[in-house]
A and B are shown apart, each in its own frame.
Chain A
Amino acid sequence: AQSVAQPEDQVNVAEGNPLTVKCTYSVSGNPYLFWYVQYPNRGLQFLLKYITGDNLVKGSYGFEAEFNKSQTSFHLKKPSALVSDSALYFCAVRPVFSGGYNKLIFGAGTRLAVHP
């Protein structure tokens, strides 16, 4: 079965330190990969995506993600965390063949807490 794993329920980091939020996937073919952020009682905001090309993708708010095909991972990173980055982060994968409806498969989410 196709799946997305975010192994950490929560990540704690001090402000100014680098952060990593992990994501691995089990999907056949070469899927499209996405990261979204969700603030309390809000919908999802798009951060970045990987379609093809350079393995390091840069996105909104200083975030970036590194695609590793051999490890089937797409970890989200930021060199210097801000308190305002505290939110819920979702990794999502769109299989190349998703029944023709472009469905996304979401990970369970990782709560990022940045402490002053």
Chain B
Amino acid sequence: GAVVSQHPSWVICKSGTSVKIECRSLDFQATTMFWYRQFPKQSLMLMATSNEGSKATYEQGVEKDKFLINHASLTLSTLTVTSAHPEDSSFYICSAIKAGSSYNEQFFGPGTRLTVL
């Protein structure tokens, strides 16, 4: 159990367009989900924490109007990159905490590679 999926796995878009990435917990309910971005050969940088039914909490330096997060249900969180630019090209990874788990460990999705032309 505890499988997290992301869709799409990769996306290429033109500069100025918006892109939506979905993160789903397939076999559990997730009260909290996290969004990370990872640049080549670098570590994961936490962008925001998403709690079901409430506004996301963004890390310092992350533009909330640029990266819109919606956590409308206990199994789905979405990240929308608005007016994407080439510098937004990155690998985006989500994770989810299983509701009721003993140690609140995070289960990670497979990631979404975004390329902005």
Q: What is the minimal beta-carbon distance from A92 to any residue of chain B, in angstroms?
A: 9
Q: Would B107 and A46 count as touching, CB distance under 8 A?
A: yes
Per the 8 Å Cβ criterion, residues 46-62 of B in contact with A are: 46, 49, 57
Among A45, A102, A108, the residue within 8 A (CB) of B97 is A102
Alpha-carbon gap, A116 to B55, bound state (A):
50
A44 at the interface (CB under 8 A from B): yes
Among A104, A107, A108, the residue within 8 A (CB) of B106 is A104
Q: Would A44 and B93 count as touching, CB distance under 8 A?
A: yes
User: Which range holds the interface residue count of chain A?
Assistant: 20 to 34
Q: What is the minimal beta-carbon distance from A108 to any residue of chain B, in angstroms?
A: 5
Per the 8 Å Cβ criterion, residues 35-92 of A in contact with B are: 36, 41-46, 49, 51, 90
User: Contacts A42-B110, A42-B111 known; A107 to B103 CB distance under 8 Å?
Assistant: no
Query: Which residues does chain B contribute within 8 Å of A32, judged by CB atoms?
Result: 103, 105
Among A34, A41, A43, A101, the residue within 8 A (CB) of B32 is A101
Question: Quick one: closest B residue to A39, CB to CB?
Answer: B110
Alpha-carbon gap, A104 to B107, bound state (A):
12
User: Contacts A42-B110, A43-B109, A102-B104 known; A107 to B43 CB distance under 8 Å?
Assistant: yes
Q: What is the minimal beta-carbon distance from A77 to any residue of chain B, in angstroms?
A: 21
Alpha-carbon gap, A108 to B41, bound state (A):
9
List residues of chain A with CB under 8 Å of any chain B CB. Answer: 32, 34, 36, 41-46, 49, 51, 90, 94, 101-104, 106-109
